[in-house]
Structure 1
């Protein structure tokens, strides 16, 4: 009857109204209540572009034929270097303000040419050639001319900040700590003159994250104190639970591990929970078409690393080992250029020191947690001798666990925190040969 149909429709509409809305992620970098969701409509999955016909673009300087290949590389493959395609959406470079700046700003154009040349030389293990040196000197000269006119809006414009950002990132990749620190100090001054990080987002939504990323990588590479978020930091859990539905095949939480986590500083536990949620999101993204936007990827990792760098547990070897292991865990995803395994010297030092202090303490911990701490930190090292004491420690722990092969060990480690596409490959490098499947 019509009356019954109305009752059914009424119940259905009430059910929809009561249905819980999936939580939206607010910006951690901008620190503003009510800031918009980081999921931007411009981030849609695109097929890879095969080459670029740059003859249709009007650049601020005359582009020579040899420059076209370098600019094409900057528009596509180098972007993948910073946003892993396994888990992140690949944005059409033509719609990016970073591409627009190439067409309007000669300083940024020369800086891009320099960074591409430097990147290629590192990939080929070559020293700086004359062309790289020319682009670098040209960039510095044009940049200095702009900065010598402080009243000019261009001196703190987005393109100028982008130039200093690229110079800082290139200095990190080439291992020039002095230059990197100078660029970071200049970057902080420019951001302050603009009114803070939140004022950078209007024309270029990814610029605040780029600036923070450079700040963090310099801290992990050289031990330089971060210039942003070095005082007031929000310690609550940022990602929060419930962003994804738990898969039926997801590993169950480890009870022994939960007992250890409950004894830790609440601030550290919040970061752990965020990292675990992020790893589950990454595993889902790598297996489905549902990828992370560059903004969400950057916001989560930046929130994790600033908090971890601000914490120190000199009198608690367990908490310190977990803190450093979490930094090592994400370093291969967030701070490595594709094709280049950068040496993060300061993080390497922290890892070896924290593991040594943990072993000296003789504190009894679940064997699986010790194995996880060892695997994620050893795999983050750029170089480690085959018979290093830490590798022997791994062999000893594996022999005490009910593990018959690599696959079983991987499954156990997944119950801690694990990102399949990244850490499966790293695990293979440190796993004892005696328990690898033939």
Structure 2
């Protein structure tokens, strides 16, 4: 039998069927470590040596007696009395009791105040205001208004989607004026921020700025009230801010979009006076986007009612120079032989043609300066065409010249369409041009190809319910010149301003309208030929 220790484990129950088993300890009994105690054993006299060679004494109870002589209670009463150890214990006990009582009193008061605040908050938080307060996205109140979640969503929609409609030229160059300029400016101005949120809501609901969008109406009224208060409190000689000019220009665009010419005239008249107080349009040369916003508001209404723009004297007309590498398109060359186009009109045609060519390669160059140059050329062309006097002359040749100007003006408004979907482009221009093309004497100075191109522009720009007269005139011309297929129609349209993919898309839209009206047939030619 081995001399090693062993353990026998067995069941003490008589009914158990478990067999006993033996646990041998070959290397002796198992050693189970006890609980670990930190520090040195009690009563140790060993001292800790510091880095400087001095010995650091550990704290023990004997040192407490040394502090008795170092710290003494001070008697502040009028009577002199000796404070012994018993008195010190009594003082400590009473001081601690008073401290606990004061602390518990403060906790009870704070608890009662919190209960009152919660009760008051429960009464103030109605079901309508609770989601807005709990979902605040501006916890530090850095915005000029109380910023709520729906405002954040609308501004994100505006800066990621809507801006592509409003700035189609800049979008091709990779420039986002909404993010780079307008939003930083609006975050410091209450009126501008309100009007941006309202416009975003109108685009979001596709209400085209109609009263059916309460969010748009609420923020629009708020912006108007803020601007009116600022203008009423403005002292003589005070500087007119960029934000006020931008808000009033946007209000004018909105009023013209909803069809209110009187409100547009009112806003533009006030805007013109404010610009004069600012120092004229030349004072905004360092603010190109503010200047462009004012021009947009001016052209938005002038194109629609074919009137002289408000800021026409402030805008430089196109120089009468010849483009060395450009020639008039074939359609306009044929028209020039009959009508003898005005030199300023021919220069404008070349300018628009150059803008279309630059726009077609803008996505490759991606230069912001090129986008600004195209924007300037387009705005300059529109102001030049609107600078001609609007007189109802009985001379057929003069009326034909007016028809040509209106057609080019309508082309710039339809191809560079930067208004909400469904908004009217230039109702006044369309109506006047259809009136001129209905006159037989005027059409004698216009080629059938030009009449077709001009009527196609009128059909595209007019609302669906107002296209009947233009379609009737167009069907008669197409039948007279024997154009009955998409191929012939595409060739005819491309003989005018046909450069650029944007114009090709415009031709496809006109082809779809005419095909639905059964005025031309179909052919095997691909739809992108134009």
Gaps of 5+ in 2: 1-136, 525-530
Contact 2:209 2:258 in 1 (8 A): no
Alpha-carbon distance, 1:268 to partner:
2.0
The alignment covers a number of residue pairs equal to 376
When residues 164 and 424 of structure 1 are mapped into structure 2, their CA distance, relative to the original with a 3 A threshold, is same
TM-score by length of 1: 0.74
Aligned position for 1:97: 181
Separation in 2 of the partners of 1:361 and 1:68?
54
Aligned equivalent of 1:106, options 190, 214, 227: 190
Separation in 2 of the partners of 1:427 and 1:56?
55
Aligned position for 1:211: 294
Alpha-carbon distance, 1:434 to partner:
3.4
For CA contacts below 8 A with separation 6 or more, give which structure has more relative contact order: 1
Contact 1:57 1:103 in 2 (8 A): no
Residues 304-324 of structure 1, C-alpha deviations (whole Å, 9 max, x = no match): 111111214732232111111
Contact 1:275 1:304 in 2 (8 A): yes
Aligned equivalent of 1:268, options 341, 345, 351: 345
Aligned to 2:410, the other structure's residue is in SS state helix
Separation in 1 of the partners of 2:308 and 2:408?
19
Separation in 1 of the partners of 2:223 and 2:240?
16
Separation in 2 of the partners of 1:129 and 1:351?
34
Gaps of 5+ in 1: 1-52
Aligned equivalent of 1:197, options 269, 281, 284: 281
1:416 and 2:530 are equivalent in the alignment: no
When residues 348 and 254 of structure 1 are mapped into structure 2, their CA distance, relative to the original with a 3 A threshold, is closer
Separation in 2 of the partners of 1:151 and 1:166?
24
Aligned position for 2:356: 279
Aligned equivalent of 1:383, options 439, 459, 464: 464
Aligned position for 2:115: none
Alpha-carbon distance, 1:79 to partner:
1.3
Separation in 1 of the partners of 2:235 and 2:367?
43
Aligned equivalent of 1:353, options 414, 435, 442: 435
Alpha-carbon distance, 1:177 to partner:
2.1
Separation in 1 of the partners of 2:144 and 2:315?
41
Aligned to 1:379, the other structure's residue is in SS state helix
Aligned equivalent of 2:477, options 353, 377, 397: 397
Aligned position for 2:521: 435
Residues 282-329 of structure 1, C-alpha deviations (whole Å, 9 max, x = no match): 34447x566775422321121111111121473223211111111111
When residues 366 and 198 of structure 1 are mapped into structure 2, their CA distance, relative to the original with a 3 A threshold, is same
Aligned to 2:520, the other structure's residue is in SS state helix
Alpha-carbon distance, 1:81 to partner:
1.4
When residues 436 and 360 of structure 1 are mapped into structure 2, their CA distance, relative to the original with a 3 A threshold, is farther
1:367 and 2:448 are equivalent in the alignment: yes
Q: Superposition pairs for residues 33-72 of structure 1, below 5 Å?
A: 58-72=142-156
When residues 64 and 122 of structure 1 are mapped into structure 2, their CA distance, relative to the original with a 3 A threshold, is same
1:75 and 2:156 are equivalent in the alignment: no
When residues 54 and 300 of structure 1 are mapped into structure 2, their CA distance, relative to the original with a 3 A threshold, is farther
Separation in 1 of the partners of 2:352 and 2:159?
30
Aligned position for 1:300: 377
TM-score by length of 2: 0.63
Aligned position for 2:335: 257
Contact 1:222 1:344 in 2 (8 A): yes
Separation in 1 of the partners of 2:436 and 2:148?
52
Residues 209-252 of structure 1, C-alpha deviations (whole Å, 9 max, x = no match): 211111011112245542101488635348x625xx779xx986
Q: Superposition pairs for residues 158-177 of structure 1, below 5 Å?
A: 158-177=242-261
